[in-house]
Homo-oligomer: A and B are copies of this chain.
Amino acid sequence: MFNKITIIGCGLIGSSLLRAIDKKKLSKEINVFDKSKEASEFVKKNLSAKVFNNVAESVLGSDLVIISSPLSSYKEILLSIKSNLKKDVILTDTGSAKKEINKIISNLNLDNVHWISSHPIAGTEFSGPESGFAELLKDRWCILSTENQKETQQLSLLKKFWEALGSKVKFMSFEDHDYVLSLTSHLPHAIAYSIIRTVTKNDDKFKDEIIQYSASGLRDFTRIAASDPIMWRDIFIDNSENILKVLDSFSESLEEIKKAIKSKNSDKLNSIFSSTRKLRKEIIKAGQETDKPNFGRK
């Protein structure tokens, strides 16, 4: 499918891409750059790719360049690689917020570069190249966004690439992407971090009990709150406008529940708690969640 692919940033997502590209033989060569020496060493020892110490050199001759590093690193990376990009290269990424990044890239006025952003909706609470696996992207959605939203040869090639990795592809504007993800991803993460913070700041006296009785609900939230801090810091800063808006909306919902608790309004509580059951059923039906009790935990 490609002669040479460069992956910049080889963490959970980058290394999963690398493994899947290798397994499905989607490129004759794969170049990798990661600023962490430890990650680079891991890739050299365990995965099939040419590892570079210099990001500018890593993109030479590549048909597809994938940035898979924290959002705050994009600008420096782009400034380093821009003069080395091959004519008609497809430049993409795997970031979780799009609008601000697109502004940065547009301002660079890259010539003969096809910038199409990707967001594979996949991940785990682990990070680093040792956590990746080839099947991470299988049956997951990948959202593609471009400035003009025209169907081009490059857009359809990138679509085929993600599909070859097992993903299902959707097109969305940068703005819609950032709004929808603020609801489905950024809001839950902000809330999970807030809950864990509430629980851990509150009580040294009951610390052991909190850990012991976490199976009563809390443990579900600790998974998301264990996600990569740097990645999430950048997402919250990049998509701050949407996130603050949905957090306000969340606070309103919470106030509504608080009010019903305060007034011991059992009808209201019952109606709120009954209405929320439906969404999970729809998510399971859409193949995005297991129907096993407790996520099928063992």
Contacts and interface: CB of A to CB of B under 8 A. Distances in A.
Given A183-B199, A187-B195, A195-B250, A286 B212 contact: yes
B195 A272 contact: no
Interface stretch (A23-31, A83-91, A101-109, A235-243): A235-243
A209 B222 contact: no
A197 B59 CA distance: 45
Contacts of A273: 193, 225, 227, 229, 232-233
B226 A240 contact: no
Contacts of A201: 249, 253
A190 B293 contact: no
Contact of A289 (B219, B249, B256, B279): B219
A113 interface: no
A223 B229 CA distance: 24
Contacts of A172: 209
Interface in A131-175: 131, 140-141, 143, 170, 172
Interface string A269-282: 11011111111111
Interface stretch (A38-46, A49-57, A61-69, A119-127): A119-127
Interface residues of A, number: 110
Contacts of A75: none
B121 A170 contact: no
A210 B198 contact: no
Contacts of A72: 266
Interface string A177-202: 00111011111111111111111111
A294 B218 CA distance: 15
- Consensus secondary structure, chain A interface: helix
Interface in A258-298: 258, 260-262, 264, 266, 269-270, 272-283, 286, 288-290, 292-298
Contact of A195 (B188, B286, B292): B188
A242 to B, nearest CB: 11
Nearest to A188: B217
Given A218-B184, A254-B247, A257-B190, A225 B276 contact: yes
B184 A289 contact: no
B199 A213 contact: no
A2 interface: no
A224 interface: yes
Given A121-B215, A222-B279, A249 B198 contact: yes
A146 B272 CA distance: 33
